[in-house]
């Protein structure tokens, strides 16, 4: 009954005109971000984060959450019509979605994508609603040692699942932790790495860093790309899949919902891993594996369902433990902290209006997204024709206004530009930026819990081993690092053997 009463209270809050408006704005912007290739939800959330400072915590989180799961919906449109993923999690959709469009079945591909996403989003929200409260009760038994272990595990898995080199991802984590230490010591209040400037006493701001890394660097990257986007010009019709399409899609939708939600909970897992995992599994289970890559509707239904379910699952560790599983949830954590709200085991009891408001907004947001994605598909096709030379200056303007409006401080603009240049260089060198941002956000929390654990044990590191939960989590983290190192060693050895001649 507590769940039902809480949900009813959440709906009472979300139907207020202000919250309803920001929920709509969030999913609309999210869909737009998903449709436009290159920007991504993390870039849009970084740009719009300053706009939420004048809002209530509930409205702020509702809008930012709407951008996140809205981008998962919109990303399929460009994948199907342009063969360019609007969002990283929609890469797999290109394989069969675009082929369906070329066969004159763009309508069913878009339809099953939107309806499957709606089903997955609803299932994920229901699971989130029932899972967070018991997990939060378990988390109340966590101490500084356990939270230190969980945060270490989160960053370890993020580097372990890096799409490129794990060593490079680990370097980005270390760099993020170092940047996060700038400012006053969280326990002793002694200035560190401030270089005598008052600006750094409170640390380097999250907003200018995020805007620089993901907004400004995106502008620089796209300035190099002059290619035009070729939109598939066949007429889009029959948006609602037929019975045969539904028969082939129901299994992938059900499996994708479960897999996506579970992988979304894991640190570093998220929508990208979920969509690839779903596609691989559906290809193995399908009665028509030869059709995959040639226009199989299961290749659209499964991944699109999985990435939307993963976006709901990602809220579980954030709301229950206060630990973001990915960089996007890290931005949400930063937004809550800016509003004076600390997510974690006490969120449901101390701020029920935020927790249940977000849950209720996800139900309504999923309905709004179906209405936005199916009837307005013609509008999104026109949006795709907006040239980058017009879009990028607008993004740059939003970044400048947002960074300055945060504290009315021109130094924030300098920080944003510096990190924009740094982000551009790192992306050119194929370094991932998400581990850096997540480590920067988690750094102060990790340091505080780590030092509190040592104070409890009079400086003994054995506390992390003596506590069963922290010992198991740290053990798993160590195994991940060792296994990756061993795998890298084997690959290097095999490459050296192949390159060596017979005499060697």
Q: How far is Cα 198 from Cα 204, in angstroms, rounded to an integer?
A: 11
Which H or E run includes 183?
A: strand 183-184
C-alpha count within 13 angstroms, C-beta hemisphere, residue 103: 14
The pair of three-digit structure tokens given for residue 75, joined into one six-digit string: 């990303």
Q: How far is Cα 284 from Cα 262, in angstroms, rounded to an integer?
A: 20
The pair of three-digit structure tokens given for residue 478, joined into one six-digit string: 């160590």
List Cα–Cα distances, 243 to 45, 123, 152, 248, in angstroms: 38, 22, 48, 9
CB distance 159 to 442 below 8 Å: no
Domain boundaries, the chain: 2-498
The pair of three-digit structure tokens given for residue 312, joined into one six-digit string: 């709901």
The dihedral region occupied by 339, where left means phi > 0, alpha psi between -120 and 50, and beta the remainder, is alpha
Longest dimension (CA), the chain: 78
pLDDT tens, residue by residue, 352-394:
888 888 888 888 888 888 887 777 777 776 766 666 677 677 7
List Cα–Cα distances, 35 to 82, 88, 91, 378, 493, in angstroms: 10, 12, 13, 12, 43
pLDDT tens, residue by residue, 202-215:
888 877 887 788 77
Strand pairing partners for 191?
184
The predicted pLDDT at position 425 comes to: 92
Q: How far is Cα 150 from Cα 158, in angstroms, rounded to an integer?
A: 12
Q: Can you list the residues of the chain whose pLDDT is less than 70?
A: 1, 37-40, 83-89, 91, 139, 158, 160-164, 225-238, 267-270, 381, 383-388, 391, 402, 405-406, 500-504
The predicted pLDDT at position 421 comes to: 92
Q: Give the N- to C-terminal CA distance of the chain in Å, as an integer.
A: 73
pLDDT tens, residue by residue, 152-182:
887 777 676 565 677 788 888 889 889 888 8
User: Given the DSSP bridges, would you call strands 191-192 and 183-184 parallel, antiparallel or unpaired?
Assistant: antiparallel
Q: How far is Cα 91 from Cα 257, in angstroms, rounded to an integer?
A: 18
CB distance 293 to 280 below 8 Å: no
The predicted pLDDT at position 388 comes to: 66
Q: How far is Cα 34 from Cα 14, in angstroms, rounded to an integer?
A: 24
Which H or E run includes 191?
A: strand 191-192
Q: Which residue has the tokens 């973001």?
A: 324
Q: Is the dihedral of CA 311, 406, 360, 35 positive or negative?
A: negative
Q: How far is Cα 9 from Cα 222, in angstroms, rounded to an integer?
A: 45
The predicted pLDDT at position 422 comes to: 92
The pair of three-digit structure tokens given for residue 338, joined into one six-digit string: 């800016």
């Amino acid at each position: 009954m507590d769940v039902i009463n809480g949900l009813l209270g959440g709906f009472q809050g979300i139907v207020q005109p202000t919250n309803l408006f920001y929920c709509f704005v969030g999913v609309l912007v999210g869909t737009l971000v998903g449709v436009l290739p290159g920007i991504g939800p993390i870039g849009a959330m970084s740009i719009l984060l300053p706009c939420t400072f004048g809002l209530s915590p509930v409205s702020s989180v509702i809008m930012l959450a709407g951008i996140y799961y809205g981008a998962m919906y919109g990303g399929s449109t460009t994948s199907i019509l342009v063969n360019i993923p609007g969002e990283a999690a929609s890469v797999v959709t290109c394989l069969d979605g675009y082929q369906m469009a070329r066969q004159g079945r763009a309508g069913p591909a878009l339809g099953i994508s939107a309806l499957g996403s709606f089903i997955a989003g609803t299932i994920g929200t229901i699971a989130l609603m029932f899972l967070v409260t018991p997990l939060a009760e378990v988390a109340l038994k966590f101490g500084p040692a356990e939270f230190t272990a969980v945060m270490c595990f989160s960053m370890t898995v993020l580097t372990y699942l890096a799409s490129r080199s794990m060593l490079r991802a680990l370097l980005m984590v270390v760099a993020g932790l170092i940047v996060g230490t700038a400012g006053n010591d969280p326990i002793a209040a002694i200035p560190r790495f401030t270089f005598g400037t008052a600006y750094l006493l409170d640390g380097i701001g999250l907003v200018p860093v995020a805007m620089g890394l993901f907004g400004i660097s995106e502008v620089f990257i796209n300035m190099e790309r002059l290619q035009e986007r070729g939109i598939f010009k066949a007429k889009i019709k029959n948006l609602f899949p037929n019975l045969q399409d539904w028969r082939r899609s129901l299994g992938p939708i059900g499996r994708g919902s479960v897999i996506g939600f579970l992988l979304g909970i894991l640190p570093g897992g998220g929508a990208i891993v979920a969509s690839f995992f779903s596609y691989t599994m559906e290809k193995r289970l399908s009665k028509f594996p030869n059709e995959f890559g040639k226009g199989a509707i299961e290749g659209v239904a499964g991944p699109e369902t999985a990435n939307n379910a993963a976006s709901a699952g990602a809220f579980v560790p954030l709301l229950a433990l206060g630990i973001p599983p990915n960089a996007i949830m890290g931005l949400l954590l930063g937004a809550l902290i800016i509003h004076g709200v600390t997510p974690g085991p006490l969120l449901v009891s101390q701020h029920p209006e935020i927790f249940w408001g977000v849950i209720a907004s996800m139900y309504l947001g999923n309905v709004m997204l179906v209405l936005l994605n199916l009837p307005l598909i013609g509008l999104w096709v026109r949006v795709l024709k907006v040239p980058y030379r017009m879009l990028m200056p607008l993004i740059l303007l939003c970044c400048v206004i947002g960074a300055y409006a945060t504290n009315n401080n021109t130094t924030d603009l300098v920080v944003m530009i510096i990190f924009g240049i740094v982000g551009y260089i790192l992306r050119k060198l194929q370094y991932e930026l998400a581990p850096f941002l997540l480590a920067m956000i988690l750094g102060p929390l990790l340091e505080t819990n780590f030092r509190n654990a040592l104070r409890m044990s009079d400086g003994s590191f054995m506390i992390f081993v003596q506590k069963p939960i922290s010992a198991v989590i740290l053990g798993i983290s160590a195994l991940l690092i060792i296994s990756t190192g061993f795998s890298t060693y084997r690959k290097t050895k095999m490459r050296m053997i192949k390159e060596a001649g017979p005499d060697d």
